Chain A
Amino acid sequence: MTATKRSRSSRGGDSPGSPPDPRTDHRLSVSLGKLFDPEPNPMAQFPGEAAEIDGYIVAPDQSVTIAATAETPGGLDMIDTVWVELQRRGLGRRRMMLLDDRGRTVSVVTLAPPHPTESLELLRSHLLVPVVARDGVAEVHLLATRDEVAELEGKFPAREEPPSTSVRSGKAGEAGDGRLDPEDWAFLGLLCSVGAFDGPSGPSARLLAELFGLEPRAFVRRATAVQQGLAGMVRDLFDTSQAPVAGAAA
């Protein structure tokens, strides 16, 4: 797996005397075949088809709920096939399908622990959504240090890709700094996909909590924490105490 480094950075794994190793955006192409070893990769049946993972959440029992949307006409069949395989392996706990506000079919699947690989635990702090899976390969964006990328590289085969601007971390969030971290964005992406922000016609907090395997109060706490992160971003965005951008028109 080879990382293509971008310029955005944040605090990372620095230690005294060692060169700085900030967290930067990395775009990686990860082969998903290993997830299904020793069985063939079911996605290989769908060349050219693509699906996008828009968000996820990890419940206290370590189950993972993921929202996936077909990006191509055959992408839904591909999602169906992968779901059948996950069920066969005893990993697929629950699946719900709904139409989003653009008329696209969203598959909301809950995977039971153990996950296909313990590397998902590594990914939680670094993975930036959305993730696009096409031709058995996932385009993965990570906010990570070189060491963290190297650790992940040891677990998946991959190939180098040119830089992309489709996913950027912006000013990176760290756990506890009041900004949104990658897992917060994944939670928001999941809520978006299931229509949670569609007003009165959207699912209630109680229904979402049940869907995600959370206690209702735990869901509200999670949503409240993310809302505070959003509020922090809003304050930074519209902070009128900062000087205008140089070169801005009068």
Chain B
Amino acid sequence: MRWIASAEDLPPGSHSIDLYASRPEAARHMASFLKGAKDRHQAAAIFSGDDDMIRLYREALTERAPEMVSALRRIQRAHVRPTAEGLRPIDDVGAFASAHPEGATMCGDTIPSLLNRRTLSSVLAYEDWFDTLRPFYHRGLCPYDLGSFPVAEAPDAFASLGQAHTHVIFSTDPQPASQFLQLLVVPYVENPPKEHLGWLARAVDEGLIEERPNGETGMDLTPRGEVFARALKGLPALTQPTPA
């Protein structure tokens, strides 16, 4: 898996993880993704069930690529549905992909809204299945909200996601919980940003992250690292003054 700084530069044939820490950041990444479609003269469709995200996408596209607003498609719920074989794209998504064998830029942004500890294995299986469709000429983006990602399961999940994707876009939002959690992705990246390698090394030095046993690729959260990650997200809510 290769790191890429901007979704705009994702090439045809790519299946990329998009890590974000806030909804505005997700919208900026999406606008860059669609700018890349425009530059490549590729058909594009973004399937979203969230009116607020669609509004944010429109705002982000205003400066980057206003003509790509037409790629935004409102769907009722998720862009995937359960089947006997596992999660699969809904008919609208499948039809769009089939209509563009020359390659299209596509994204369904609904995974973060349905991702939790119980659904994680289904989502990972879906990603594994999707990657079996390659090689293709499409550009595919898979957004993941670091703020709601299950912390305890993150090491194994990122190991799986790292194998099922060709590229990763890191969050650049300074939100510390997200910055820390995404360090677990670094071992699966061929060309990680230098800063991320340094931060990962410091996290190991602090006893927050450790190498996997038996020479296995990847990193794990230590018990302290898991507490650290969860506290970064949840402690601020407990420090508000309590009403008298």
Contact = CB atoms under 8 A, between A and B. Distances in A.
Interface in A158-201: 165-171, 185, 188-189, 191-192, 196-199
A217 interface: yes
B117 to A, nearest CB: 7
Interface string B157-194: 00000000000000000101001100000000001101
Interface stretch (B46-54, B76-84, B228-236): B228-236
Contacts, number: 118
Interface in B1-28: none
Contact of B227 (A185, A217, A220): A185
Contacts of B232: 230, 234
Interface stretch (B60-68, B86-94, B127-135, B202-210): B202-210
A102 interface: yes
Interface string B206-239: 1110100000000000111011101111111111
A92 B130 CA distance: 54
B207 A170 contact: yes
B235 A249 contact: no
Contacts of A129: 223
Contacts of B202: 236-237
A205 B240 contact: yes
B198 A242 contact: yes
Interface stretch (A73-81, A148-156, A221-229): A221-229
A217 B241 contact: yes
B99 interface: no
Contact of A249 (B117, B174, B192, B203): B192
A199 B234 contact: yes
A202 B242 contact: no
A233 interface: yes
Interface string A116-130: 000000000000011
Nearest to A217: B242
A223 B227 contact: no
B199 interface: yes
A33 B197 CA distance: 46
Contacts of B242: 205-206, 209, 216-217, 219-220
A38 interface: no
A238 B199 contact: yes
A248 B194 contact: yes
B176 A234 contact: yes
A163 B227 CA distance: 22
B194 A197 contact: no
A220 B239 CA distance: 5
The B interface, classified by DSSP as helix, strand, loop or mixed, is: helix
Interface string A52-74: 00100000000000000000000
A202 B223 contact: no
Nearest to B201: A245
B197 A245 contact: yes
Nearest to B202: A237
A240 interface: yes
Nearest to A55: B227
A208 B236 CA distance: 14
A230 B231 contact: yes
B243 to A, nearest CB: 8
B21 to A, nearest CB: 13
A176 B207 CA distance: 21
B39 interface: no
A195 to B, nearest CB: 9
A169 B223 CA distance: 11
Interface of A: 8, 54, 101-102, 129-130, 165-171, 185, 188-189, 191-192, 196-199, 202, 205-206, 208-209, 216-217, 219-220, 223-224, 226-227, 230, 233-234, 236-238, 240, 242, 244-245, 248-250
13 contacts: A166-B223, A188-B231, A188-B235, A192-B227, A197-B233, A205-B242, A216-B242, A227-B235, A227-B239, A230-B228, A234-B232, A236-B206, A237-B202
> Which 5 A-B pairs have CB atoms at the shortest separation, nearest pair first?
A197-B234, A168-B207, A170-B207, A170-B206, A248-B197
Given A167-B207, A170-B205, A234-B232, 7 more contacts: A202-B234, A219-B242, A230-B231, A230-B232, A233-B206, A245-B201, A249-B191
